[in-house]
Amino acid sequence: PACRAAYDGDVYKLYSILRTDPSQLDVQEEHNGDTPLIAACRRGNLHMVEYLLQVKANVQLTNKKQRTCLHYVSKRTFSVLDYLMICILMPILLLGYFVMLQKQRKTVELMKAVLSSRVNINAVDYGNTALHYLCQKKSHHLVPLLLQGNAKTDIRNNDGETPLDIATRLKLPKII
């Protein structure tokens, strides 16, 4: 129930669940091993993430893919609906552009919230750290946040690439 409430973004329901059973805070879903915090990060729900961090959810836990909440914040992208909205609204007074900027700001705030906890910034899932994912996505606005948090740039993934190698290969001058 706690993970479902986090997926749904229902802070009040999660609050009620945790009030009656505090052990649900770090419960892992049977199917994929997600915790409420990982679920909230997957959905990009900033208010839910902030609430879970406030009540001291364990940021070190990983799911069955060995991913932490930070991995999911790093992997967030625009949804198909977001892209559709941006494309439709772009010609109308650049509304699409403002929608895109708002989504990017939300992701930055989500990243800052997770980084303010004691998350393992160098956690590795299937060979990649959060910094690898950000470089692969060309997320030049999020990379500095990880670097300020002392993310290691020399960890090699399963392809033998460091985040710096990826940034160089993709010709990302803002990251290099």
Domain-wise residue ranges, the chain: 2-120, 127-176
pLDDT grade, residue 57 (50/70/90)?
very high
> What pTM did the predictor assign?
0.81
Has residue 175 got a pLDDT over 80?
A: no
DSSP state of 141: T
The Cα 80–Cα 14 span in angstroms is: 28
Tally Cβ neighbours within 10 Å of residue 133: 25
| 62-121 pLDDT tens trace | 999 999 999 999 988 666 666 666 666 666 666 666 777 788 888 999 999 999 998 999
| 150-170 pLDDT tens trace | 999 999 999 999 999 999 999
Find the angle CA(164)-CA(170)-CA(175) to the nearest 5 degrees. 50
Q: What is the pLDDT of residue 29?
A: 95
Sequence-ordered list of residues with C-beta below 8 angstroms from that of 72, at least 6 positions apart, any chain: 38, 41, 42
Give strand ranges (E) for 3-150: none
pLDDT grade, residue 173 (50/70/90)?
confident
Q: What is the CATH number of domain 2-120?
A: 1.25.40.20
Sequence-ordered list of residues with C-beta below 8 angstroms from that of 149, at least 6 positions apart, any chain: 115, 121
Cα 131 to the chain's mean position, in Å? 11
Q: What is the pLDDT of residue 82?
A: 65
Q: Which CATH class is domain 127-176?
A: mainly alpha
